[in-house]
Chain A
Amino acid sequence: MTAVAEAPSKIGEVPSFTVTLRVLRHLPADDGELAERWDEFQVQAHGTDRVLDALHQVKWEQDGSLTFRRSCAHGVCGSDAMRINGRNRLACKTLLKDLDPSKPITVEPIKGLPVIKDLVVDMEPFFASYREIMPFLITTGNEPTRERLQSAEQRERFDDTTKCILCAACTSSCPVFWTDGQYFGPAAIVNAHRFIFDSRDEGGAQRLEILNDKEGVWRCRTTFNCTEACPRGIQVTKAIQEVKRAMITRAF
């Protein structure tokens, strides 16, 4: 095998193009106030490049002060949810070529959570809601000596909601959450759903009690923003309605 670094034929070469990134910058000033401004960056990108690659290029080659979160960069860790062209997406799962690169691509932090710097937001209110629904297995009685068995059908019941990666794309796309941030948010309800409908779990009643709150599932207006925003394709709105239904059948 010979390495052909500069082969004369260009077969398979990925075409490159120039894109403009419009990034909403939040820069903390000396007095602690966040100053907001739009910055434009020109980036040379390939058809295989994602928004995250473009952001990397900006940070590594143009402006090192650009701040954003990312960890695995492959759509699993849920760190880099941001508002790209007005929709919440994962920067690592969004190809530039799918976003109409002829126009500037806008990148903003996700809405409804306090911005710390640039694209980094304070996720604490989001995780506080998540902790409140008790996202762990609750059982009674003696621990079995072997696995807690479950049929394929029982597993299928909550399979969709096990996919959540807690990126906050759904919660921060919810107009009800934007208003006062008191609403539990789709992500917390999705993760409650994952345990409420798990045949091995016995804390369902407790979790329904927690979500049967003025700021719980009843604030959902079924606008489907969350379902549209979910990078894992979870039917978020459907899950919320299933939790509502479980509450109603419990109450009547």
Chain B
Amino acid sequence: MTLIADPKAPRPPKAGPGRRTTRGNVELYGWVFMRVSGVLLLVLIFGHLFVNLVTGEGVKAIDFAFVAGKWASPFWQVWDLLMLWLAMIHGTNGVRTIINDYAEKDTTRLVLKSLVGLAFLVVVVLGTLVIFTFNPCPHGVAADLLPSFCTAG
């Protein structure tokens, strides 16, 4: 053994003074998620718009019965749930990125990000709840406002 340091072995990568390392795959997964969810959302949103606005009677068909009829099917429940979650995570992550880029003070950053997080939570929890606990046949409502399967039974 010699006392001379082996020049081929580099020092372990260490952050310089003034920078705390924030290494990890978090931003990598975030970046990939934005691309993947973006492509999925293109299909989901344009599918949603096409089914609601173009097919059948078009825009005029949309009323309580139309929405209730759609949410009676598990297919549209899953579709709308996916759309809600993907759009909310995608949008929130995008706004988080913008805050990181533009907020210069740490406190501003924290406050803005908390607001975005709060808005995210409210919309996602409320939306998910509505999709799953939605009652297509509420009591005491005129039958002509309800979907056809409510009166059939």
Contact = CB atoms under 8 A, between A and B. Distances in A.
Interface of A: 125, 128-129, 131-132, 134, 136, 138-140, 143, 175-176, 179-180, 182, 203, 206, 209-210, 212-216, 218-219, 221, 244, 247-248, 251-252
B13 A210 contact: yes
A179 B28 contact: no
Contacts of A214: 22-24, 26-27
Nearest to B12: A206
A179 B26 CA distance: 21
Interface residues of B, number: 24
A188 B10 CA distance: 18
Interface in B111-140: none
Given A179-B104, A212-B28, A214-B26, A128 B8 contact: no
A218 B31 contact: yes
A180 B104 contact: yes
Interface string B95-123: 00000111110000000000000000000
A173 to B, nearest CB: 15
Interface of B: 8, 10, 13, 15-19, 21-28, 30-32, 100-104
A179 B101 contact: yes
Contacts of A248: 28, 31-32
Contacts of A244: 31
A118 to B, nearest CB: 25
Nearest to B21: A213
Contacts of B21: 213
Given A140-B8, A179-B103, A214-B23, 13 more contacts: A125-B18, A128-B18, A129-B16, A132-B19, A136-B10, A138-B10, A206-B10, A212-B27, A212-B28, A215-B22, A218-B28, A219-B101, A248-B32
A216 B31 CA distance: 12
A48 B16 CA distance: 43
A213 B104 contact: no
18 contacts: A128-B16, A138-B10, A139-B8, A175-B101, A179-B101, A180-B104, A206-B10, A209-B23, A212-B24, A212-B28, A213-B27, A214-B23, A215-B22, A216-B23, A218-B30, A221-B101, A247-B28, A248-B32
A180 B104 CA distance: 6
Closest CB pairs A-B (n = 7): A214-B22, A218-B27, A128-B16, A213-B23, A210-B13, A218-B31, A213-B22
A160 to B, nearest CB: 23
B24 to A, nearest CB: 7
Given A218-B28, A247-B28, A210 B23 contact: yes
Contacts of B23: 209-210, 212-214, 216
A132 B12 CA distance: 10
A20 B103 CA distance: 37
B28 A251 contact: yes
A128 B17 CA distance: 9
Nearest to A137: B8
Nearest to B15: A132
A203 B27 contact: no
B16 A132 contact: yes
A221 B100 CA distance: 12
Contact of A215 (B19, B26, B32): B19
A131 B10 CA distance: 12
A144 B136 CA distance: 77
Contacts of B16: 128-129, 131-132
A111 to B, nearest CB: 14
Contacts of A221: 101
Contacts of B102: 179
B13 A132 contact: yes
